[in-house]
Amino acid sequence: MASTQGIDHTAVDEPTVNRRQMRNVYIASLAGTTVEFYDFIVFGAAASLVFGAVFFSSLSPSVGTIASFAILASGYAARPLGGIIFGHLGDKMGRKATLMWTMGLMGGSTVLIGLIPPSAQIGVLAPILLVVLRLVQGIAVGGEWGGAMMIAVEHAPAKRRGIFGGAAPLGSGLGVLLAYGMIALVSNLGNEAFLSWGWRVPFLLSSVLIGLGFYVRLKIEESPVFTAAKKQAHMQDTSAALPKTRIPLFELFRERPKALLLGIGISCGPFMAQAILTTSMIAYATTQYHIDRSLLLILLNVSLAIMCCTMPVFAWLGDRIGRRKVFIPAVILFGVFSFAMFPLLETGSTPVILTTFIIGMSILNPAAQVTYGTILTEQFPTRFRLTGAGVSYQFAGLVGGGLGPFLAAIFFAEGGLGPVATSVMVSSFCALSLLCVVIVADGRKTELTDI
């Protein structure tokens, strides 16, 4: 832990917020991440179902799928950059401003993706535009998660940090549900209509959602923990802990490199398991076993709806018994379950596939996801907390959410290693997450102003 010697915490007004403001903050974190992750995940759903045919029509279906997932991975590759950029701005200027910028970038890029003509009309320019806009999406969502976590957790009392920290994961879950729900809805139009224009509707809908997100976020106040730290910095210009001229990323590398690496390790296992479950398995089922696309999306949406109910429960449980006691069993079981996912899918049985999605997405994923965000937040001091937690999470997203599905697409290609190799990959990263979370300190009882 970094020292905060030289800071007189009694000289800073104790951060206080009223219940209405806390409610507004929770809603803003929830609603904002819902919109942002809707935009980000609807791309993943479209990549697994339609982008190969629309933007890579000259390639074989398997190669087109690999190309689509490569572009999908590029968004995850840009997420750490977003975490660095908006982490810096959030740690220097405040949490609230970053949330407005990330939402604007995400909404604009998503709407433009829905307007890109197919490669049959504009040739190679189509996939180029898709890559550029996907990178903008990645930068935006890379800054979103950290800002939403900070604004919620830093407003919360210590005994309720898990509940408030669960707002961003719950919002991301709702965003995923909404994204797949919209894709499932338009996929019922029929294959020709879906490929020609139907897939564009969920992207264009983002313009409405972004407007609602802006309205909600304009009503919240800045984080009281950040405000107190900023006030302290002005009171003690010569303080070694809160200097006026600083680069949060450099301070993170200098003071908490171990916490950064452990944070990446904690998140990448469940991140990869969730990404494989919601993208690669659907692509695999539709191309290899010709399972009806609409049926898969309906079953996935059922599990996502249940997940949105279980997330607050796991967040509450993390406050009650400890977040690591919730996370550790979840990540162990996720690693084991990765070997059962594909054999269960191959049965083609609707009840079995639904059960598979429920186990993975309604139980194991929320238990891991709703806890590791707050765990990361509690590992870093205020002056570079957004940078530390955000960069940790986004690099994990690059490995788990970007590299994982891309490698899985290669494994599933003709002559590839198949689902067994994918399961080995997922379970290995879950084992890494287990090791890392055992090493980190339990920050439940630590005041954020004291870290």
In terms of C-beta density within 10 A (0-12 exposed, 13-18 middle, 19 or more buried), how is residue 402 classed? Answer: buried
Structure tokens at 153: 């957790």
Structure tokens at 415: 């002559």
Domain membership of residue 100 (yes or no) is yes
**pLDDT reported for residue 338:** 92
Structure tokens at 100: 């407005």
Listed in sequence order, the residues at least 6 apart from 317 whose beta carbon sits closer than 8 Å to its beta carbon are: 326
CA distance 34 to 263: 23
* More confident of the two residues 353 and 284: 353
**pLDDT reported for residue 143:** 85
Domain membership of residue 236 (yes or no) is no
Convert the pLDDT of each residue in 235-250 to its tens digit: 555 444 444 547 888 8
* More confident of the two residues 117 and 237: 117
* More confident of the two residues 12 and 47: 47
Note whether 217 and 96 are within 8 A (CB).
yes
* More confident of the two residues 15 and 358: 358
Residue 11 has pLDDT above 80, yes or no: no
Note whether 420 and 341 are within 8 A (CB).
no
**pLDDT reported for residue 380:** 87
Domain membership of residue 6 (yes or no) is no
State the DSSP string of 349-398: -HHHHHHHHIIIIIIIHHHHHHHHHHHHHTTS-GGGHHHHHHHHHHHHHI
* More confident of the two residues 46 and 325: 325
Mean pLDDT over residues 399-423, rounded? Answer: 80
Domain membership of residue 232 (yes or no) is no
CA distance 60 to 241: 57
Residue 230 has pLDDT above 80, yes or no: no
**Residue ranges making up the domain that contains 97:** 17-223+248-450
**pLDDT reported for residue 445:** 67
Stated as kind and residue range, the H or E segment containing 225 is helix 224-235
Residue 227 has pLDDT above 80, yes or no: no
Mean pLDDT over residues 406-435, rounded? Answer: 86
Q: What letter represents residue 200's amino acid?
A: R
Residue 22 has pLDDT above 90, yes or no: no
Domain membership of residue 10 (yes or no) is no
**pLDDT reported for residue 241:** 45
Q: To 10 degrees, what angle do helices 19-49 and 167-187 make?
A: 40
- 451 pLDDT band, cuts 50/70/90, is low
Note whether 270 and 337 are within 8 A (CB).
no
Residue 448 has pLDDT above 50, yes or no: yes
Mean pLDDT over residues 434-438, rounded? Answer: 93
CA distance 209 to 228: 33
CB atoms under 10 Å from CB of 129, counted, come to 17
Of all residues in the chain, the percent with pLDDT exceeding 70 is 89
**pLDDT reported for residue 102:** 87
Note whether 228 and 12 are within 8 A (CB).
yes
Q: What letter represents residue 361's amino acid?
A: M
- 414 pLDDT band, cuts 50/70/90, is low
**pLDDT reported for residue 326:** 93
**pLDDT reported for residue 242:** 45
Mean pLDDT over residues 377-394, rounded? Answer: 86
Residue 220 has pLDDT above 70, yes or no: yes
Residue 370 has pLDDT above 80, yes or no: yes
**pLDDT reported for residue 358:** 94
Q: What letter represents residue 153's amino acid?
A: V
Q: Which of 192-196, 364-368, 385-389, 395-399 has the lowest mean pLDDT?
A: 192-196
Taking the alpha carbons of 100, 271, 267, 370 in that order, is the dihedral positive or negative?
positive
Convert the pLDDT of each residue in 256-275 to its tens digit: 899 999 999 999 999 999 88
- The listed range with the strongest mean pLDDT (68-72, 144-148, 389-393, 424-428) is 424-428
- Overall number of domains in the chain: 1
CA distances from 73 to 160, 225, 275, 399, 400 (A): 35, 35, 11, 9, 10
For residue 319, what is the domain's CATH number? 1.20.1250.20
DSSP 348: -
Domain membership of residue 169 (yes or no) is yes
Domain membership of residue 11 (yes or no) is no
Note whether 293 and 450 are within 8 A (CB).
no
- 58 pLDDT band, cuts 50/70/90, is low
Average pLDDT, the chain: 81
Domain membership of residue 238 (yes or no) is no
CA distances from 43 to 111, 134, 242 (A): 11, 8, 40
